[in-house]
Amino acid sequence: MAKVKSKLEYIWLDGYKPTQSLRSKTKIEENFSGKLEDLSNWSFDGSSTEQAKGGSSDCLLKPVFVCPDPQRKNGYLVMCEVLNADGTPHPTNGRAQIEDDDNDFWFGFEQEYFLYDLSTNMPLGFPAGGYPKPQGPYYCSVGAQNAYGREIIEEHLDVCLDAGLNVEGINAEVAAGQWEFQIFAKGAKRAGDEIWVARYLLERIGEKYGVYVNYHCKPLGDLDWNGSGMHANFSNTLLRTAGSKEVFDKVCEAFRPVVKEHIEVYGAHNELRLTGKHETASIHDFSYGVSDRGASIRIPVLVPAKGWSGYLEDRRPNSAADPYKVAARIIKTVKPVQR
């Protein structure tokens, strides 16, 4: 049997604050089966990623998700958790915080982002030294005068689907150069894994176009342009089978006393985005309502239409948030709620 050498791209999150970044390195392995259980742990220099001191620098990479790498011959993408040298979860390991071993929680993340031109350091579609026409024509737009970077987002969609990621859609967003993709998974850990791998693929595609992905939630500051979110749609058996408005009210009210704890993991600089404008609730308030995109939590209009069973959308997580930490916090709030 001829030996086939596979390129295994081990991907992890570093220790940078306030926002972690993606890191990766390639391991060559012969006759890899493509199965997660056949992947071994690896190590890296944590002193170069803000995750260890130089005198004791080894951190471990524990594979938790694998899929084909459509951009490389015999390639695989391997999402990893970071462990300390003794095998315990590293403090930067948000995935280890998720209490969803039975995969009862389903998550759908709406990942918004801006594509920035390296040469101008401005979003695609922004002329040098100025601004395009105001918001309005860009959302779900078509045409070269309104949609910027389509070749990038179409390529990204194709490679995500080829990798087997459960992308459920894409669209141009409200600002010029702003886009969104949506990923859904049954199981909070799986949803986080797929969002991070999709982010990784988008970053790598941008390299060849001279474009980088800006996940800052309000990259254009106080100007009258929308920020970027990562709305978290979620459900568990309780919500999916609720059958009453009272259950949804109980779940939403469970969020009220822990607003601070949620905001702490919903992405850096969220105070710039959650202003009560541009389809956001104020960071200082908590609210929920049916079909209300200005609320902290939106109850989709189909929920009452289907007899008060379904899911909720927390609109507060921003585009740079760690989906692992967002899911972990939502589960901690919702799981204790009973009928």
Are 88 and 193 contained in the same domain?
A: no
Which tens digit of pLDDT belongs to each residue from 213-267? 999 999 988 778 889 999 999 999 999 999 999 999 999 999 999 999 999 999 9
The last residue of a domain, from among 62, 93, 124: 93
Q: Residue 85 is part of which domain span?
A: 5-93
pLDDT at residue 1 in the model? 64
Tens of pLDDT, residues 274-321: 998 877 889 999 999 999 989 999 999 999 999 999 999 999 999 999
Number of independent structural domains in the chain: 2
Which CATH number goes with the domain that contains 69?
3.10.20.70
Residue 59: per-residue pLDDT: 98
158 assigned to some structural domain: yes
Do 86 and 112 lie in one domain? The reply is no
Task: Identify the CATH number of the domain in which residue 237 sits.
Answer: 3.30.590.10
Residue 77 and residue 142 in one domain: no
3-state secondary structure the chain: CCCCEEEEEEEEECCCCCCCCEEEEEEEEECCCCCHHHCCCEEEEHHHCCCCECCECEEEEEEEEEEECCCCCCEEEEEEEEECCCCCECCCCCHHHCCCCCCCCEEEEEEEEEEEECCCCEECCCCCCCCCCCCCCCCCCCCCCCCCCHHHHHHHHHHHHHHCCCEEEEEECCCCCEEEEEEEEECHHHHHHHHHHHHHHHHHHHHHHCEEEECCCCCCCCCCCCCCEEEEEEECHHHHCCCCHHHHHHHHHHHHHHHHHHHCCCCCCHHHHCECCCCCCECCCCCEEECCCCCCEEECCHHHHCCCCCCEEECCCECCCCHHHHHHHHHHHHCCCCC
Same domain, residue pair 134 and 173: yes
User: Does residue 46 share a domain with residue 114?
Assistant: no
For residues 193 and 69, membership in a common domain is answered with no
